[in-house]
Amino acid sequence: MTCDPVKKTLKDFDDFEIRVATIKGAEQHPKKDEFILLLDLGPVERDIQVIADLKKNYKLEELIGKQCVVILNVCSETVDNIESTALLLVTMHEEKPRLLQPDEKVLAGVKVYGVMDSMRTHMAKPGEE
């Protein structure tokens, strides 16, 4: 079966480095109505910083310890001299951002996979497909 050229393939999805992170710190951005989040990516990765507009749905203190999903291999952005180094994935509910989260707590830094037919296909090491 051929794929519509406008659609992305599973290989395209694999190009994204999508991970689960745990929010270990949160503070108000000094110049914007946004939060600066410090995200833990587990013992083998350094912590990263993300700027996110989550004030409509979250208080700073309730974000600590929550897990979230981030795309790591995107170009960083600077928001009023503060760097945001990953893309935080959210959904919108009643025009308010909601964090995408695993349904159970998982280890910080684990990779997020897409499943269409077989986990073996998508979790295979290069050359094993």
The structure tokens listed for 17 are: 């480095």
What whole-number percentage of the chain has pLDDT above 90? 67
Q: Could you tell me the pTM of the whole model? A: 0.84
Angle at 42 between CA 38 and CA 45, to 5 degrees: 80
Q: Are 24 and 68 within 8 A, CB to CB?
A: no
Is residue 129 very low, low, confident or very high in pLDDT (cuts 50, 70, 90)?
A: very low
Domains and CATH numbers, the chain: 17-111 (2.40.50.140)
pLDDT tens digits for 68-111? 999 999 999 998 999 999 999 999 999 999 999 999 999 999 99
